[in-house]
Each structure stands twice: as structure tokens, then as C-alpha cells.
């Protein structure tokens, strides 16, 4: 969006109006010792043409062939209309809609977002987004600890099958609030080891379950949800929202459903952008609505009977006393939520289901192609969505680096997070991947493995 500065005449008129001789006079109360002085290390300016050339060179260095990396950020097709509409000035410059009478468009969009997310997750309430999926999980954990007044402790069970970076982020955020995160081991099949779950005497606030989990496997969400409720614990679901076009929504897990659902909205029209930014979502039951961080947009009627939108529950520190706030870090990722809402509206239920089915189908096809190669096998057998773990005859890091030289982003080295999986790679194929690209991946990996064997 272009920025048109004030003219010298306009600046002089404003200074005259407030009785100041120069702009520098506005900063005269700052002591000289605190001033930076001349910025002598700032290089000389360059022409616009030279700047564009440099940026073009750097952008081309980032150019890459097909992406088979997932692990929380996915290379989905984004319809052109999504960002054409999102980049309109009305959306691009809008921030917090404090003045409802002047922000009806923004408020309606967020209301539509909340409605869609509540429908997808099978929950009653959605907030107006948070930073990302990882911080959303931390907020969900704090919600559960506050909301589960029957719990004998502030202990929350977190499985090894949950995304490692989500575990790290959640631990960093909740540790200072005396919340104890306890790890639940996984079995060799890449699922939560139900036999390792603690007894009811231990006292639990919540259990976290990711579906699909970090390895792409589908957990026994019904059994885990019922187990958590039997212990008097709340169930926190971490879900890729795209999968909910096909899979059972968290609100229907087990006999009573999950209590809180959270996750990352990146699959909904948000570019991978080297891992961010994105937006997180949190949905919950009516009984926990007062614990929900952020804000909620409500629909009402004005004095003339016309539909209007307004901020309703606002539990952020900006709205209430800091000590009473449900969160001091959450924010509404307004622009990205705009893109996500437009994406969901364009695709609709059938479109989302088509994307999900195509992604699963492509990952199955990629798995079949890669396991044709000697020494390449599926590492964790069983139901999956659009990510698979493959065991290689070489270190995954070696294969990934070698394929990167061939302009193929091959997947994730699981040895980075799980030391006993240094020869296991996590691959993903979205609806964008073509048969030609998958064949090229297989052939390139075959060459890498042949070279490594000689």
C-alpha cells in the first residue's frame, strides 16, 4: 500500500498550529546523552533499480522445487482470490476493532471466522484467534488448569506424539505458572502408549491429544477422551483444521467430546513463508467460555433492528486489570484470519474435503513410490492422514541435504527430535504435488542411496 508523506507546507502548518518551531523541538526533553547522534554506520542510499536487483537475486536464492516437508506448515494451493481480497486496504490496515460503529466489516469477518471454526471443531464457542498453534496450545493448557476446579493438581499429560515444537512452546509459557507438564511415552507404532497412562489417584488437570499426531498417525481419540474424563481431567485436542473436513471433529470424540480444541490455521490460505507467521485458533465448550483468552465477537441488533456486530467477552489485559486477564500475550492475528476466513468461504465443506482427500491420496502414492527403493520402508504402520514416516538405509539428514542440492525439499529429519530415529524421515504430499514431482523425488532418492552404497 503506498505511503504519501506530508508536504513541507503541511508540516509547517501543523507546527505553527501547536506553536513549535521545528520537529526537533518536539523531542527537546530527551537528554543529549540518550540520543543516538548521527547514524554514521548506515550505508549510502541506492537507487530503486539497484534495490530491486538485489532483492530479486536474494529471492531467487530461495527458489526451490517441490516441497515434501510438512510437520506443521504445509504447501497447499492458495486460490488467487484469497490474498487479492485480503490485501484490500479495508483489511490490510485494520487492527483491533475497538470502535464497533466504525469496524462493522472487520467485526463481521471475525464473527464468520468464529462460526466456521466452531462448526469445523464441533464446539460451541471460538475465540478471535491467537498467535499460532503452539501458543494456542499453551493458552488451552492454562484454560484447562483454571477451568478444571475439581482437579487435585496442576498436572497436564503431554504425549511424545505431540509436535515437539508445540511441547517446547507450551512448556516455556506455562512453566512460570506452576503448571507441570508430564510426558506420556509413545509406542513403536507412533501412537500414545495407553498402558503408560497414570492411574486416577495421581490427580490430573488435563490430557493433550494431537490428531493427526506429529507422525501423521491417527490416535484412538475416542478411547483417550473417555479415559481423561474418567480421571476427572479435561481433554485438549490439537487438530489440523483441514483434517476436520474428513475426520471426526473434537466435539464428538468419545462419549462427551473434547473440552478444548486448538491448532494452527496455516493450511487455510496462509503461505509457508519459511515457517510463519500464521494464526492459531481455540474453540471450547460453553462451560469454559469465561476462561477463553482473547476476545469474542457477537452478533446483535441496533436500535433500528438492523444486524450489527460488537466485541463481547474481552478477557485480555488491554480490556481488564492485568492480574484478572486470562492472557497477557494472546492477540488476534487479524490479517491472517482474514485470509483463512476467505479461504474457508471459497472452498466450502466440499472443497475442504476435496483438498484433504487429494492430500491423503498423494501421500499414499508417494509412500508407494519411495518404498519401491531397496532399504526404504514405512516406519510406523497404520492409519495416517497426509504425512508418513519412512525408514531409510542412510541417515535422514544425509538424504535431505543431498536432495536439497537437487532442488527437492524432501522432508523432516526426525533425528532432530528423536535420537533413535536418525534414519527416519517424515514426508508429506499435499494436493499440489504432481505425479511427475513424486517420480522425480523417487528417482533422485534412488540416486542418492546408490551413491551412498558405493
Q: What is the largest CA-CA distance in the chain?
A: 81
So where are the chain's domains? 80-343, 349-453
Q: What is the mean pLDDT of residues 185-213?
A: 90
pLDDT digits (tens, 9 = 90+) for 137-163: 999 999 999 999 888 889 999 999 999
Answer yes or no: are the C-beta atoms of 226 and 144 closer than 8 Å.
Answer: no
pLDDT at 323 over 70: no
The CATH label, of 3.40.50.300, 2.40.160.10, 3.40.640.10, 3.30.70.520, for the domain at 80-343 is 3.40.640.10
Confidence label for 91 from pLDDT (cuts 50, 70 and 90): confident
Written as nine digits, the cell of 281 is 485458533
Instruction: Report the C-alpha gap between 234 and 254 in whole angstroms.
Output: 12
Question: pLDDT band at 318, cuts 50/70/90?
Answer: low
Residues 383 and 189 sit within 8 Å (Cβ to Cβ)? no
**Mean per-residue pLDDT for 96-110?**
82
Examine domains 80-343 and 349-453 and report if their fold is the same. no
CA distance 362 to 268: 19
Q: Is the pLDDT of residue 94 over 70?
A: no
The alpha-carbon radius of gyration of the chain (Å, integer) is 25
Q: Is 284 helix (H, G, I), strand (E, B) or coil?
A: strand
- Read off the pTM: 0.87
Nearest CA among 159, 241, 229, 231 for reference residue 192: 159
| Share of residues in the chain with pLDDT > 90 (%) | 74
Q: Looking at the structure, give the CATH architecture of the domain made up of residues 349-453.
A: Alpha-Beta Complex (3.90)
Amino acid at each position: 500500500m503506498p505511503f504519501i508523506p506530508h508536504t513541507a507546507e503541511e508540516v509547517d502548518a501543523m507546527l505553527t498550529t501547536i506553536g513549535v518551531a521545528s520537529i526537533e523541538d518536539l523531542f527537546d526533553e530527551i537528554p543529549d546523552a540518550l540520543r543516538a547522534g548521527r547514524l554514521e554506520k548506515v550505508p549510502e542510499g541506492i537507487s530503486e533499480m539497484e534495490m530491486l536487483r538485489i532483492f530479486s537475486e536474494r529471492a531467487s536464492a530461495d527458489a526451490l522445487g517441490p516441497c515434501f516437508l510438512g510437520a506443521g506448515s504445509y504447501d497447499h494451493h492458495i486460490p488467487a482470490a484469497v490474498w487479492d481480497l485480503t490485501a484490500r486496504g479495508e483489511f490490510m490496515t485494520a487492527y483491533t476493532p475497538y470502535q464497533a460503529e466504525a469496524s462493522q466489516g472487520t467485526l463481521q469477518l471475525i464473527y464468520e471466522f468464529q462460526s466456521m471454526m466452531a462448526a469445523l471443531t464441533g464446539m460451541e464457542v471460538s475465540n478471535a484467534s491467537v498467535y499460532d498453534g503452539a501458543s494456542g496450545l499453551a493458552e488451552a493448557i492454562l484454560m484447562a488448569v483454571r477451568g478444571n476446579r475439581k482437579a487435585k493438581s496442576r498436572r497436564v499429560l503431554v504425549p511424545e506424539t505431540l509436535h515437539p515444537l508445540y511441547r517446547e512452546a507450551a512448556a516455556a509459557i506455562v512453566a512460570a505458572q506452576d503448571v507441570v507438564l508430564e510426558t506420556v511415552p509413545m509406542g513403536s507404532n507412533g501412537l500414545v502408549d495407553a498402558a503408560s497412562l497414570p492411574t486416577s489417584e495421581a490427580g490430573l488437570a488435563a490430557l493433550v491429544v494431537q490428531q493427526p499426531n506429529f507422525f501423521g498417525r491417527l490416535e484412538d481419540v475416542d478411547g483417550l477422551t473417555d479415559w481423561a474424563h474418567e480421571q476427572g481431567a479435561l481433554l485438549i485436542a490439537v487438530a489440523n483444521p483441514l483434517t476436520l473436513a474428513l475426520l471426526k471433529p473434537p466435539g464428538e470424540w468419545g462419549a462427551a467430546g473434547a473440552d478444548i480444541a486448538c491448532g494452527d490455521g496455516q493450511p487455510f490460505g496462509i503461505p509457508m513463508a519459511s515457517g510463519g507467521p500464521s494464526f492459531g485458533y481455540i474453540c471450547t465448550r460453553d462451560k469454559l467460555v469465561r476462561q477463553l483468552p482473547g476476545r469474542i465477537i457477537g452478533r446483535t441488533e441496533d436500535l433500528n433492528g438492523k444486524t450489527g456486530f460488537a466485541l463481547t467477552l474481552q478477557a485480555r489485559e488491554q480490556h481488564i486489570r492485568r492480574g484478572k486477564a486470562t492472557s497477557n500475550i494472546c492477540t488476534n492475528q487479524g490479517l491472517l484470519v482474514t485470509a483463512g476466513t476467505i479461504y474457508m468461504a471459497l472452498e466450502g465443506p466440499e472443497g475442504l474435503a476435496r483438498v484433504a482427500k487429494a492430500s491423503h491420496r498423494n501421500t499414499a502414492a508417494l509412500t508407494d513410490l519411495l518404498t519401491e527403493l531397496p532399504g526404504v520402508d514405512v516406519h510406523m504402520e497404520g492409519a495416517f492422514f497426509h504425512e508418513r514416516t519412512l525408514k531409510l538405509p542412510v541417515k535422514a539428514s544425509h538424504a535431505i541435504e543431498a536432495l536439497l542440492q537437487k532442488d527437492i525439499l524432501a522432508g523432516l529429519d526426525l533425528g532432530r527430535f528423536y535420537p533413535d530415529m536418525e534414519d527416519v524421515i517424515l514426508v508429506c504430499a499435499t494436493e499440489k504435488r504432481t505425479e511427475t514431482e513424486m517420480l522425480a523425488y523417487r528417482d533422485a532418492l534412488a540416486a542418492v542411496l546408490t551413491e551412498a552404497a558405493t
